[in-house]
Structure 1
Amino acid sequence: MASTGPYGSWPSPIDAALAASHDGRPEYLGTVGAEVWWTAPRPAEGGRRALIRRRADGTEESVLPEPWNARSRVIEYGGHPWAAVARDGGPLVVFVHFPDQRLYAYEPDAPGSEPRPLTPLSAVGDGLRWADLRIEEDRGEVWGVLEEFTGPAPTDVRRVIAAVPLDGSAADDRAAIRELCEDRHRFVTGPRLSPDGRRAAWIAWDHPAMPWDATTVVLADVTGDGEFTGVRDVPTGTASICQVDWAPDGGLLFLTDADGWWQPHRAEPGALSAAGATAGPARPAFGAPVLPGREEEFGGPLWKIGLQWFHPLENGLIAVIHGTDTTALGILDPTTGELADAVGPWTEWAPSLAVQGDRVTGVAAGVRGGYEIVELDTRTGHTRVIGAAHTDTVDPAHYPEPRIRTFTGPGGREIHAHVYPPHHPGWTAPEGELPPFVVWAHGGPTGRSPLVLDLEIAYFTSRGIGVAEVNYGGSTGYGRAYRERLREEWGVVDVEDCAAVAQGLAAEGAADPGRIAVRGGSAGGWTAAASLAGTDVYACGTILYPVLDPLGWATDGTHDFESHYLESLLGPLAEFPDRYRSRSPLERADRITAPFLLLQGLDDVICPPAQSERLLARLAGRGVPHAYLAFEGESHGFRRAETMIRALEAELGLYNRTFGLTRTDVPDPELIA
């Protein structure tokens, strides 16, 4: 028989340490001979990213010992940080080491081997950075994206595709790095070589466009000496192309949203020689849709360099990730349009795929399990977990039971959300009591909240506090039109949509209208802060490493990748200066009256701590209860276990105090006015 206790007071086996230990997910899959490799979070090891190999016998081990950290800082959000090839004596791996961003070569199976540097340090700005690597062993080089700072400002930067000698001759010599393309585009991805090695294709874009606004495909011919010649852009108008790769027969495959959804397209080999010779209309100048008229996403936003939503197979089929609220791994026959999905409990597939013959490997999670490495045998349709397997460290009966919901917002617009009501197998609330809820706003804001098990959500729901993740207008996963609702409306549509979900839950009797909080990080931190300043819906809020000052962002206040992002989110500063001020949570700090918790990494270059400190200065003496926790060694998004534990417990402490709960097992956040 279930015990009875007020919402928010229930005991739970899911503590902050357990939630922190499961934060993050495997990323950047690849195959090395018969092995599958990936990067994995290690919160207990200073937040480093380990490089993991799954040997042919199924055993898993770390390729790199502590403190080696395989993580790139290109465009600050990073990209594919490693490449490896199989050799008779064991693999050769090249990886980016996070602290100095140099490339290192390492032979893990060679006795006494140590990582050796391949690239030099630079005293200019933030130096040299690398991502999206591929080893060209026949040429004795590793190719990838080079991000090079040319001055002290965060926007003093250039990006090219470059080749680094594997012999270490460039370790102290920048001149030994061979640039394969000019820096005529601000951003580039790594090259994808055609099956015959005679052509290369990559994606490029320029300010003020973000990669989900407009990108172009770049083609080049590759000489026998590894030189890129005949480099040319393929006109794509205002379409966003998020991935490009080659079919086995030399056709070019790419994902474009020219028809409103990221969809697979194909250009025939014979059309590629002339591609880019003349300007084209808004839709791609070459290629045709593989699945015309299908309204679902087969791609996503390029927040990192080297993401993969599809992978060609040797037999001409294509492994694809597709869906809207949830995603699936499917095998697409481009000649017939037939699409067959893998069977299993997974509701979200990350944009990372690897192929070995007829086997496709991906990173997937479900509502009852975290992200794990899953293999699909395309001959039999059989799926199995082969790595990073989810294990239940507590009774899964304590996991939340999500509901996919669509709410109605201003003007009758649809708002997509995932609602997680309070849930505990052994506790229930007194009859008639309504539960407290926390509305979560995701980052980006061009992002989305996947429908997967998240132990941070379970941390709250198992204690009797509901969570509603809002995929507000501007989120990806629902087509370009839904994504562009936020265009020049940031701070309006996102705030309205979150409020509509909160009020909708209250109106239907699912949430206590007096005990609703708002929470978000990064762009979600902006939405949380703007919601506290612009509405009276919320009793309190949790603001993590937020954007608070758009004027500062627009004037060298952030990193290069997003330095022009506000031109689409708010409009050009020269035309709409009042908009930058009127929507700024910093400028509207006098309207904030609800208690809040502010969490900030002191090494954050995307949302620098100066913004948070200016908000606190504006609120000084105004009598608004708040707490500020700043963490040394943390950047944009927390990665250390001790940080995540303290942050999560402080958040629960805020709700304990504000919602009038009776918990004695969490620290008081010590709000000051």
Structure 2
Amino acid sequence: MASQAGVFWLESDPASGLNLIHTLAESGEGSVPLLPDTLGVRSQVNGYGGGALCAAPDRLFAIESSSQQIYDIMPETGIVSAVTDDASACFGGLVWDRHRERLLAVREDADGQQLVAIRQGKLETLHQGEDFYSAPAVSDSGRQLAWISWHLPDMPWVSSVLWLARVDDDGMLVDARPVMPFQSPTRACVQQPVFVGETLYVLSDHLGWWQPWQMDENRSWRCLDDTQADQASAPWQLGECQHLPLPEGGWLRVRYLSGIGGLWWQPDRDALPQQLGTSYVDFRCLTRQGDRAYCIARSSDRLDAVLSVDMETGQIHVLAGGEKPFDEVVLSSPEPFRLPESEETAFVVSGFYYPPVRSQSGQTDNAPLVMIAHGGPTAMICPVLNPQVQFLCHQGFAVAEVNYRGSSGFGRDFRLCLAGQWGVLDVQDIECAARHLVSEGKASAQAAFMQGRSSGGYTALMALVSSAYFTAGVSQFGVSDPERLRAMTHRFESGYLDWLLGSFEEVPDRWRERSPLMQADRIQQPMAFFQGGQDAIVVPEQTHRMATAIRANGRESFVQVYPDEGHGFRKASNQADMLTQLAVFYRQCLQR
């Protein structure tokens, strides 16, 4: 986040688990906290938040994690004051409207969401009636406003709509209407609208990939880059930006190829695109201030970095972060792999393999293999530095992460083919990947483990339900009872399970067949569960019921609950304990 007030970002504090605001040190390099560690910043809109920090010319606005209210922060003095006092609601997707010196935000309460403006403590509803809102964007004149909306049961990566409205002298919207890419309605996902002057740019996948489009005065669409590659990730959170149109027809964009994000820059419309920062594998939160752009960059062997990009030369400078994570410790480097093409599917499944870290011959064909299913399941794996992966590699395990069918970053068709097939295609692809790596001499044929977080935990459980290939499984706050989750889940994902498994009312038998809890008697291998005691998405009761059902079948199940964690472990002490317990569990399974 950048403005005349400076450059700001969020860093997770390992002791408290809070997201704290950081800024540049006085030297212009390195990170220092802006405030004492009492103000955690996090939005809970849609359960996954996003857009919790916003920069105005002389101040910041942030959403405090516990109250979910917006606070005004003066960087020069450190003075913090409340902007909202709305205990019934939470906020996200903050955007500063400089023309009217007001905040734009998504407000969420028990009745739904609204697009709102907040000025001098007064809240005004700009638009309502849609189920979900995101990404408000203001034109340079302040006379146009664009945003994204979508309706249940869709998720924002299945179908969403771009809206455009005029803004009157009082700041209210006039002639608000959806803008479709073609005359006839086309189901597509549109995201990240942004203006340069009065020209609107957006990313849309209506031709099969998230590609950049420009809208002219007649609201006709023109594709700016027809490369068959996603140039955005799935919009789980608000406030994301992975493309920056620039004056004179230039741009800065992220492009995903084979699970790796590249940063591409074209200084003007006549120049040839250049790839920048090739040592990094993913880029997020692009923003611009003057002639410089800023972003968060991730790599395979270093900590996340805050980068500055000179828009005239393309030169990159590391402002903060980017350190080596461990002194004198050898890291396992990711090796990309692809599964052989199959007549059964038109898609090529790929992933990243991490060999065990050894001091001797480097042989891998006797190494036990840990397969990791990413969460979402509409998410993706990039080969970024993952301490959990590195820990397992240093324990002598080979590790592989798979972008199975249904992952984002590989086009719309690949992403949507998991509809009705959750617990089948993801399981098939990961088991095929394990067998492929073993056949290539990358791991032992005698011991393969399966683990995953959240929906990846569900995939791990279903792998052990449907196959005897895996030696044991690990579920980290994973789904074990989809029917119960459907009844309890938050509004954002209330239609997601019916998309993943098929309508519960139409195919109830499929739900039972794809329920790990209902199929617990088919699990013959040991299972370990790691659970947050405050998890409101996968509640502890669900995990305990699953573990009990496995024990009732005479099989082993281990449960570790962290009372102070939610859906995902934030405190370093809990993460370290989980890794220790994980290694013990795997070693015990190998000794049987």
Normalising by structure 2, we get a TM-score of 0.94
Distance 1:187 1:178 in 2: 17
Counterparts of 2:189 and 2:147 in 1: how far apart (Å)? 13
Q: Distance in 2 between matches of 1:291 and 1:346?
A: 22
User: Is the CA contact 2:232–2:256 (under 8 Å) kept in the aligned structure 1?
Assistant: no
| 558, 576, 583: which one aligns with 1:652 | 583
Q: Following TM superposition, by how much is the alpha carbon of 1:342 offset from its aligned partner in structure 2, in angstroms? A: 0.9
Contact 1:35–1:55 (Cα < 8 Å) also in 2? no
Distance 2:69 2:517 in 1: 37
Are residues 548 and 64 of structure 1, via their aligned partners in 2, closer, same or farther at CA, if it must alter by over 3 Å?
same
Consecutive unaligned residues in structure 2, runs of 5 or more: none
Cα-to-partner distance string for 1:611-666 (whole Å, 9 max, x where unaligned): 212212322432211211111221111101111011111111111111239xxxxx
Given that residues 146 and 160 in structure 1 are in contact (C-alpha distance below 8 angstroms), is that contact kept between their aligned partners in structure 2? Answer: yes
* Whole-Å separation in 2 of the counterparts to 1:381 and 1:564: 43
RMSD: 2.0
Aligned equivalent of 2:350:
416
| 1:618 partnered with 2:566 | no
Partner SS for 2:149:
strand
Unaligned runs of 5+ in 1: 1-29, 150-156, 170-175, 273-285, 662-673
Cα 1:289–1:529, aligned 2, differ >3 Å: closer, same or farther? same
- For 2:522, give the aligned amino acid: R
After TM superposition, the structure 1 = structure 2 runs for residues 72-471 of structure 1, keeping only pairs within 5 Å, are 72-87=43-58, 92-110=59-77, 114-122=79-87, 127-136=88-97, 139-149=100-110, 157-166=111-120, 169=121, 176-182=122-128, 184-235=129-180, 237-248=186-197, 250-268=198-216, 270-272=217-219, 286-292=220-226, 294-324=227-257, 325-332=259-266, 335=269, 338-350=272-284, 352-396=285-329, 398-408=330-340, 411-413=343-345, 414-424=348-358, 426-428=359-361, 434-471=366-403
Q: State how far apart, in whole Å, the 1-side matches of 2:26 and 2:293 are.
A: 15
Q: Distance in 2 between matches of 1:69 and 1:315?
A: 39
Task: Map Cα deviations across residues 197-241 of structure 1 (whole Å, 9 max, x no partner).
Answer: 100000100111111111100111111221112111113521111
User: What is the Cα deviation at residue 140 of structure 1?
Assistant: 4.8
The residue that corresponds to 1:530 in the other structure is 462
- Provide the residue aligned with 2:11 in structure 1: 40
Return the offset for 1:35: 2.0
What secondary structure does 1:530 align onto? helix
Structure 2: how far apart are the matches of 1:85 and 1:140?
A: 9
Secondary structure (helix, strand or coil) at the match of 1:225 reads coil
Deviation at 1:586, TM superposition (A): 1.0
Q: Is the deviation greater in 585-594 or in 323-332?
A: 323-332
CA deviation digits over 1:262-304, x for unaligned, max 9?
Answer: 1001111x214xxxxxxxxxxxxx3121123x11111121100
Deviation at 1:408, TM superposition (A): 3.4
The secondary structure found in structure 2 opposite 1:615 is: helix
Question: How many residues are matched?
Answer: 584
Letter paired with 2:390: A
Post-superposition offset of 1:316: 3.5
Q: Cα gap change, 1:526/1:337 in structure 2, threshold over 3 Å: closer, same or farther?
A: farther
1:433 CA drift (Å): 6.0
Relative to structure 1, the CA distance from residue 192 to residue 138 in structure 2 (aligned partners, 3 Å threshold; closer, same or farther) is: closer
Letter in 2 for 1:551: E
1:489 CA displacement: 0.5
Residues 467 and 507 of structure 1: is their aligned pair in 2 closer, same or farther, counting only changes over 3 Å?
same
Query: What is the CA distance between 1:428 and its match in structure 2?
Result: 4.1
CA contact (8 A) 1:244 1:252 kept: yes
Displacement of 1:410 in angstroms is 6.2
| Aligned-partner SS, 2:446 | coil
**Distance between the aligned counterparts of 1:389 and 1:109, measured in 2?**
27
Q: Relative to structure 1, is the Cα distance of residues 140 and 348 closer, same or farther in structure 2, using a 3 angstrom cutoff?
A: closer
Identify the range of structure 1 (332-341 vs 465-474) with the bigger mean alpha-carbon deviation: 332-341
Give the counterpart of 2:38 among 57, 67, 71.
67
Residue 246 of structure 2 aligns with an amino acid whose one-letter code is L
Instruction: Select the residue among 559, 564, 583 that pairs with 2:490.
Output: 559
**CA distance in 1 between partners of 2:403 and 2:352 (Å):** 8
Partner amino acid, structure 1, of 2:465: A
Greater length-normalized contact order (CA 8 Å, ≥ 6 residues apart): 1
1:31 aligns with 2:13: no
Instruction: After TM superposition, list the pairs within 5 Å mapping 1:593-672 onto structure 2.
Output: 593-660=524-591
* One-letter amino acid of the structure 1 residue matched with residue 404 of structure 2: Y
SS state at 2:51 partner: coil
CA contact (8 A) 1:290 1:334 kept: no
Q: Which amino acid aligns with 2:163?
A: V
Amino acid corresponding to residue 450 of structure 1 in structure 2: C
Percent identity at matched positions? 28
Equivalent AA in structure 1 for residue 213 of structure 2: H
Structure 1 residues 547-587: Cα deviation after superposition (integer angstroms, max 9, x where no partner): 122212332x2111111002221111121111111111111
- TM-score where L is the length of structure 1: 0.83
1:58 partnered with 2:28: yes
Which amino acid letter does the alignment assign opposite residue 53 of structure 1? T
